[in-house]
Structure 1
Amino acid sequence: MNDFTDPITDNNRIVASKVDGKTMPIHFRNHLEEDVLFPSNDFNLTLLRQHFQHLRHDTIPLHWHKELQAVWVHEGTLAFTVNEETFPLSDDTLLLINRGQLHRSRAIAGDAAAICINFEPDFFHPKVLQDYILPLLEKEAFSYRLLALSPEMTARLHRILAASDRSIPYFSVINLLSDCLEEIMQSSSGSGKTADFEDRNLFHRLLAYVEAHYQSPITVADLANHALINKNRCTALFQKYTQTSPMKYVAKHRLFLAKNLTIGTDLSISEISEAVGYNQTSYFVEQFRRSYGLPPLKYRKQFGDSSKV
């Protein structure tokens, strides 16, 4: 397995973000949609500062959101996945992700740090928004774009990074995003595969079923019947978007939820086991140990306090 292949990174610790000097955990709505919070109620832009510890297996798990996102990794390297494509992301490249794209990231070969800008482009003049920006965002070929950084853009990013983490340098951020969108619009070719909307919508339906039924037994047939597809296509969709099988994804998802309950609550291990869909506590404990290297109680003792945000 190479450094950029990770069957399910959702197992590991979710990286928290700093927004206006405050540590903010990532929250997900149903179907893996991130609940993006903005510092101002009337301005849809936020700057997040994220630090990944490699030995702790920090990750941003598979998710999506309605807002656009720009990511710059200023220290180390992240393995970043958008839809079914995985690539390394470091300080010479800026990643711009369109709305609604499934993505995740993790540290590889060392610690890493990034700034992440979630935004709606409504700070543009209505005519610019209507005639240029929205047509770009609605193009099927634009799922994401990797932008090679010019010296000017790199300098601007360093100015943004140097700003106090208790405030967002809005003027610099907006100028940066304007430059990025202009470059994409002027380019005749984009990076990233055309988003397959039918596949993505079907996969969202499959995720919705897992979210709603993970406490009960789930089979591949259950998933396929819910999405009105055959089992082969169901399996192919999970391989495409998670690089693993449906049943392995369900198991990893249950263990991910169990880990959060282990370090974030005082529930007993048997209560956690039942809450995430295991009917035998001993089997749950063994699966937890295989995934995290420690049984749940030892894991809680070692990581419980430091993992709360």
Structure 2
Amino acid sequence: MAKTKHDLMKDASEIVHYDTAGIPLYVKSDVLSEYPGMRAICHWHDDLEFIRIRKGEMYYRVNSQTILLKEGDCLIVNSRQLHYGYSRGQKECLFLCILVHPLFFSGNITLYERYIRPFTESDGTGFLYFPHGAQYPGMDTQDVSSDISRLLEKAAALRNGGQPGYELEIVGLMHILLGRLISLGLLVPDPDTGYGISRPDPDSAAQRAMVSFLYQNYSGRITLDEIAAAGHVSRSKCCRIFQKYLHQSPVDFLNSYRLEVSRRLLSETSLSVTETATSCGFSHLSYFSKLFGECYGCTPKEYRKRQ
């Protein structure tokens, strides 16, 4: 089975392949095991991301915060936030992912400026988390996650049906969803209640800059001083930020990304194993093979044969 991959720009932003060219909408039923190591690459994009857990559970990291998402939970990741999902104990997770660009809601500039832009440009709202069954003020009949789930699943059904004009119906559903959250005071959460709110993250800009630097320069020799300089922080602060956001050292994160790139090269090019290792910044073939085996459970040559 082909593995799911994220195509990234050099600044770590994802190149989102929308369902229809010119319409900033992406709807996919996803399976965590389709990702290498059951883990997505850390990335960001301008789109709002809507996640619904259909079966199982997984961890979701947004900036420096980790959320354990369980069946029925919903998560909205704000625009331009570093994020990725990964398995809990290598367990499977089935989930729905919908990406919608904020400009999707800009048909009326007054409504966009009043309701959407304050959310997407909010420093303190990296994500909104809606646990299954949680009750909120103003919701007497059902929990918010069930309401969101119903709208997201209807959008997925429309996408799968593929009838002419389905995009317009999804546009309507997403407006209803955000309108519902706005009416409940949840789109830009109230700090006094704490519903759905995430903490402001002062180190997010530095982390994004350092990750972008690694994505741009992974093929060459990189020092810790250079990584820290990219984020305008000290070496020790650099290491603390990587642990805070990614639970990895800068070097371990760099090697993880190099291995992901090498996996793609082995699958999609005719480069030799040695050429692949060199292209990904590994100066010693034995070290590359060792790390590759630890990550993917086979040698680079064996991996290529399986593709």
Normalising by the smaller structure, the TM-score range is: 0.7 to 0.9
* Aligned residue type for 1:231: R
* Aligned residue type for 1:160: A
Could you tell me which residue of structure 1 aligns to residue 180 of structure 2? 179
Partner Cα separation in structure 1 for residue 78 and residue 92 of structure 2: 26
Could you tell me which residue of structure 2 aligns to residue 159 of structure 1? 154
Could you tell me which residue of structure 2 aligns to residue 286 of structure 1? 290
Match of 2:254 among 246, 250, 256: 250
Partner Cα separation in structure 1 for residue 152 and residue 19 of structure 2: 20
Match of 1:61 among 21, 32, 41: 41
Pairing 1:219–2:200 present? no
Contact 2:49-2:99 within 8 A present in 1 as well:
yes
Cα-to-partner distance string for 1:96-128 (whole Å, 9 max, x where unaligned): 111111100123353222222211344353222
Could you tell me which residue of structure 2 aligns to residue 144 of structure 1? 127
Deviates more, 1:221-230 or 1:69-78: 221-230
Deviates more, 1:201-210 or 1:93-102: 201-210
Q: 5+ unaligned residues in a row in structure 2: which ranges? A: 132-142
Partner Cα separation in structure 1 for residue 118 and residue 29 of structure 2: 30
Please give the secondary structure, in 2, of the residue aligned with 1:66. Answer: coil
Cα-to-partner distance string for 1:234-290 (whole Å, 9 max, x where unaligned): 111111111111111122221221122122222110110110112222222122112
Shift of residue 301, structure 1, vs aligned partner: 1.7
Contact 2:52-2:149 within 8 A present in 1 as well:
no
Shift of residue 78, structure 1, vs aligned partner: 1.8
RMSD: 2.6
TM-score by length of 2: 0.81
Could you tell me which residue of structure 2 aligns to residue 117 of structure 1? 98
Partner Cα separation in structure 2 for residue 55 and residue 186 of structure 1: 32
Pairing 1:201–2:184 present? no
Could you tell me which residue of structure 2 aligns to residue 85 of structure 1? 65
Partner Cα separation in structure 1 for residue 2 and residue 246 of structure 2: 17
* Aligned residue type for 2:91: G
Pairing 1:73–2:56 present? no
Deviates more, 1:79-88 or 1:165-174: 165-174
Contact 1:78-1:107 within 8 A present in 2 as well:
yes
Could you tell me which residue of structure 2 aligns to residue 234 of structure 1? 238
* Aligned residue type for 1:144: F
Partner Cα separation in structure 2 for residue 78 and residue 155 of structure 1: 21
What percent identity do the matched residue pairs reach? 21
Shift of residue 92, structure 1, vs aligned partner: 2.5
TM-score by length of 1: 0.81
Contact 2:53-2:95 within 8 A present in 1 as well:
yes
Distance 1:238 1:274, change over 3 A: same
* Aligned residue type for 1:62: C
Contact 1:61-1:104 within 8 A present in 2 as well:
yes
Contact 2:3-2:35 within 8 A present in 1 as well:
no
Shift of residue 153, structure 1, vs aligned partner: 3.8
Q: 5+ unaligned residues in a row in structure 1: which ranges? A: 1-12, 17-24, 305-309
Distance 1:179 1:45, change over 3 A: farther
Match of 1:277 among 281, 289, 293: 281
Size of the aligned set, in residue pairs, is 282
Alignment of 1:292-307 (within 5 A): 292-302=296-306, 304=307
